[in-house]
Each structure stands twice: as C-alpha cells, then as structure tokens.
Structure 1
Amino acid sequence: MVSITDKLISIKFIACISQLFLTIVVAYVRAEILRSNYDEDGDNYSNANTSLVVCVVLSFICLVFEILVLLSGLALFYDKINVFEVLLHSLGTLFVAWFILDKWNPYIFWVIWGFLALIPFLLELLIVISSRKLFKVT
C-alpha cells in the first residue's frame, strides 16, 4: 500500500515539473507576449523584455532548486510544508498557463513568481536548513 507521503511527494514532483515546463514555455513565447502588450520600437518593450527574462530565469532557478531538494529526499518528512507547496505549485501551473494563453502584461509574471515560485523556494530552503540542523550535517 502506498503511503500518503509517497503520493504527496509524487504530486509535488508533477506540480513542480509542470510549472517548470510552463516557465520554459514563457521564455519561448516571450516575444509574442511582449508584442501583444508593447510597440517593438519603444523603451517599454526593451524594459519589459529585460524584466521578463530576469523573472523567467529566477523562476527557473527556484524551481530547479526545489526539484533537486525533492530528489535528494530531504523534503520527505515535512508533510505540512509539502501540502502547502503542492497547492502553490498547482496554482503556479494554472496562473502561468493563464499568463501564456491570455498574454498578460509581462510585469504580472513578477507577482506570479513572488507568490508561486519564491515562497515555495524559501520553504524548500527552510527544509534544507532545518534538515541540516536535525541530522547534524556539516
């Protein structure tokens, strides 16, 4: 019989991978999103382009870090945090897909990143730090 923790970790992995995949899709369709919101010749276009690239890279880093921690096994014992992260990553997948489909303003991606990628990243960092203290890893 599969335990709740095993199912939770599997769901968390799928949610992280799907949000990571959609973040890569944002990088791929970036020009189309920018063209739907700005004129290509303006300063706003180049500023929004830079902002979106930085946000996509930060999202990629946060999500890859979380997946690596998940694969390391450190997150197995924190069910309450994992449930919260599954919720955030599921919402992240939904909102990133919505962002792509509706071609929202690129600055909205910062809000998505802040709530649905940065917060889970910080929780994962908390797991790493507390695991190091708990297991006395140097």
Structure 2
Amino acid sequence: MVDQAGPDTLQLSVAIIDAQEADTSLKAASYVPIPLGLPGAKMATMQTLQHTAGKPPFAGQVTVEGKVTDASTGTLVAAMIDRRVGARKPIIGLFESSTYDAWSDVTEAERYWAEQVRYRFCVRRGDSNCTQASE
C-alpha cells in the first residue's frame, strides 16, 4: 500500500451499488416444517418466491462495481461489476448464527470479493502460492 501515486502503483475503486438485508424472521421460519396435511405446499411456495424474486426467499443481496486504474496515468486496467445473493442452506441453517444476522449475506459477499481481489493481484504478480477465493 502506498499513500501517493507513483510508478508501478494501481488505484482500486469500489462502490456498493445496492445492498439488501435478509429478512431473518421469515428466513428462520422457513425452516419450520409444514403439517403433513399439505404435502408439497411449502416447496411450491418457496419455489414460487424464488422464481418471482430471482433469488432464494428471504436472502440478502449486494451489488458492487469497481475499477482498477494506473495510479500515475489514470489508464483503466480492469473493471468489474458483480451481484451476490445469499443462499438458503439445508435444515442445518436453522442452527447457524448467520441465519439470524440480517447482513450476513452481504458480509459473506464482501469477504468473497476481498479474497478474489487478493487472488487476482497475487496471480498478476506471478506468485506461486496464490489462494483462490472460497465460495
């Protein structure tokens, strides 16, 4: 990291375009089984909600865009835009603390992007021990 532009330095700019928290009360309630008298009703409802919203029901999401420029000249080196959506985990999700944290999906996306940027810079430097971002 440097505190002023110079040769062989890059500037990374990132902006969060959209962030939506998860609905934790409904997310947790979605793990409660439906009575046996309504076979398939819960699955049909969850699938309808997913197709309507384009994401798993009650999940959070975040969209970012960013660019990397040569710090000396301002020349664009790379640009990106990405949207990450939380995932609904199997029944074990009921017991995970992230199910009850409204911003956990956004936090997980930010962790992923940070690891991805680190990995790509590592590869560009030619290092041999670069660790890919984990999903």
Tell me the TM-score range normalised by the shorter chain: under 0.3
TM-score, structure 1 length as denominator?
A: 0.25
Q: Which has the larger radius of gyration?
A: 2
User: Is the helix fraction higher in 1 or 2?
Assistant: 1
Flag the structure with more relative contact order, 1 or 2, with Cα contacts below 8 A and sequence separation at least 6. Answer: 1
TM-score, structure 2 length as denominator?
A: 0.26
